[in-house]
């Protein structure tokens, strides 16, 4: 049985007519960049995200970069974030000359640990070399971070909060969309995301009119009221009309896909309860995940290799997110982190792996996956 890790082909069959119609409309009007589809998408997604404004852009990385630029991040600033995420989260901080300060993670949700955030803020203040500027919280694998505690900690210390919702668009935290928290929320429409386009794309969400204006200016080379009057330094961060057309087609079925992801996750939970040494993911009370990934913890690195080997023997894909935490990446050797500095993150990184997860995964396919995990038990 062929089991795709993410099944974009089955999804395409659901939206094929709408996608082709949307792309044909772009080809007909010829406004390939910043066409009318952008405005329509921004309005629909802002309403869904529970924010006043949405600003489409070229990628999730650009969304983070634009947010940091709008918030005035630069050299001498400390931006606190998780090391257990994709490189883009910290990379954008470094691109602006600021310093990422890595905070350990919660051992259950794998998201930023508010208690360690408090400790790291105090450490930076005591050293006095950097200004505590902001926090980027990441909603890993589709599950919200603890925004009651993180947002309070950021704002009480005079810092901004950016929500990195690249994996959590649609998720909720105590009844509110994750994108409605923070000073700015950012998401990615990379094809593998819960809501993805057929290339790169991203979006920023904000409630402030001033922030919306800043983001729109930065998106197009810092333009002012006249496009040839550049009032600030910006980037070329525009979203293509064809990608917006694809997103409009896929967004129409997105709420239903979220429900199907819940069903798949619940079925995995039932099937995995008697697999020795495997810890399925936990969703705390009051949270709703969009299940960007379905990630398990093995007992050890060796146990993980054994389990992934069983899957590979049955031609079932599995993936490790993220084997090398950011604080131990070669690019950040200059920051001086050593193995053992963020023990929870390092332990999780050595044991975690992800199973196939998408809205079109059948019960039979899931039973095959779990049977493979049990095959040598």
Q: What is the mean pLDDT of residues 47-58?
A: 98
Predicted confidence (pLDDT) per residue in 242-291, tens digit:
999 999 999 999 999 999 999 999 999 999 999 999 999 999 999 999 99
**Tokens coding 339:** 């193995």
Residue 227 has a pLDDT of 79
**Tokens coding 63:** 């969304």
Residue 249 has a pLDDT of 98
In the structure, what pLDDT confidence band is assigned to residue 377 with cuts at 50, 70 and 90?
low
Checking 342-346 for CB contacts under 8 A at 24+ apart, the result is 342/83, 342/102, 342/103, 342/104, 342/105, 343/104, 344/104, 344/105, 344/106, 344/107, 344/113, 345/82, 345/83, 345/84, 345/102, 345/104, 345/105
Predicted confidence (pLDDT) per residue in 172-228, tens digit:
999 999 999 999 999 999 999 999 999 999 999 999 999 999 999 999 999 998 878
Numbers of helices and strands, H then E, in the chain: 12, 12
- pLDDT over 70 percentage in the chain: 99
Hey, where are the domains in the chain? Answer: 8-251, 254-373
Predicted confidence (pLDDT) per residue in 140-174, tens digit:
999 999 999 999 999 999 999 999 999 999 999 99
Mean pLDDT of the chain: 97
8-251 has CATH 3.40.640.10 classification: yes
- pLDDT over 90 percentage in the chain: 97
Report DSSP letters for 26-40, one per residue. Answer: HHHH---BS-HHHHH
Residue 324 has a pLDDT of 98
Predicted confidence (pLDDT) per residue in 352-364, tens digit:
999 999 999 999 9
Its CATH class, for the domain covering 254-373, is: alpha beta
Residue 1 has a pLDDT of 56
């Amino acid at each position: 049985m062929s089991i795709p890790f993410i099944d974009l082909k089955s999804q395409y069959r659901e939206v094929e007519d709408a996608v082709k119609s949307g792309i044909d409309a772009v080809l007909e009007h010829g406004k390939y960049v910043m066409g009318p589809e952008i405005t329509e998408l921004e309005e629909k997604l802002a309403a869904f995200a529970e924010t006043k404004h949405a600003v489409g852009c070229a990628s999730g990385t650009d969304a983070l970069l634009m947010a940091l630029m709008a918030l005035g991040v630069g050299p001498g600033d400390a931006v606190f974030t998780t090391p257990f995420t994709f490189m883009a989260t910290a990379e954008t901080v470094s691109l602006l000359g600021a310093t990422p300060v890595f905070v350990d993670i919660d051992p259950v949700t794998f998201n930023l640990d508010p208690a360690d955030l408090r400790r790291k803020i105090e450490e930076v203040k005591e050293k006095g070399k950097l200004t505590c500027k902001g926090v980027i919280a990441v909603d890993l694998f589709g599950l919200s971070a603890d925004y009651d505690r993180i947002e309070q900690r950021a704002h009480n210390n005079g810092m901004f909060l950016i929500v990195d919702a690249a994996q959590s668009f649609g998720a909720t935290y105590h009844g509110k969309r994750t994108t409605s928290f923070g000073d700015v929320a950012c998401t990615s429409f990379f094809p593998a995301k819960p809501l993805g386009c057929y290339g790169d794309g991203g979006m920023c969400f904000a409630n402030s009119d001033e922030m919306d204006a800043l983001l729109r200016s930065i998106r197009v080379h810092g333009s002012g009221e006249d496009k040839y009057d550049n009032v600030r330094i910006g980037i070329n961060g525009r979203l293509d009309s064809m990608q917006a057309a694809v997103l409009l087609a896929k967004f129409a079925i997105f709420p239903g896909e979220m429900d199907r992801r819940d069903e798949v996750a619940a079925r995995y939970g039932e099937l995995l309860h008697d697999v020795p040494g495997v810890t399925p993911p936990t969703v705390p009370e009051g949270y709703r995940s969009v299940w960007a990934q379905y990630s398990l913890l093995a007992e050890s690195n060796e146990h993980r290799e054994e389990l992934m080997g069983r899957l590979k023997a049955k031609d079932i894909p599995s993936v490790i997110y993220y084997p090398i935490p950011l604080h131990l990446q070669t690019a950040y050797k200059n920051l001086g982190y050593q193995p053992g500095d963020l023990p929870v993150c390092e332990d999780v990184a050595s044991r975690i792996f992800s199973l196939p997860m998408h809205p079109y995964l059948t019960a039979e396919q899931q039973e095959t996956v779990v049977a493979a995990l049990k095959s040598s038990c």
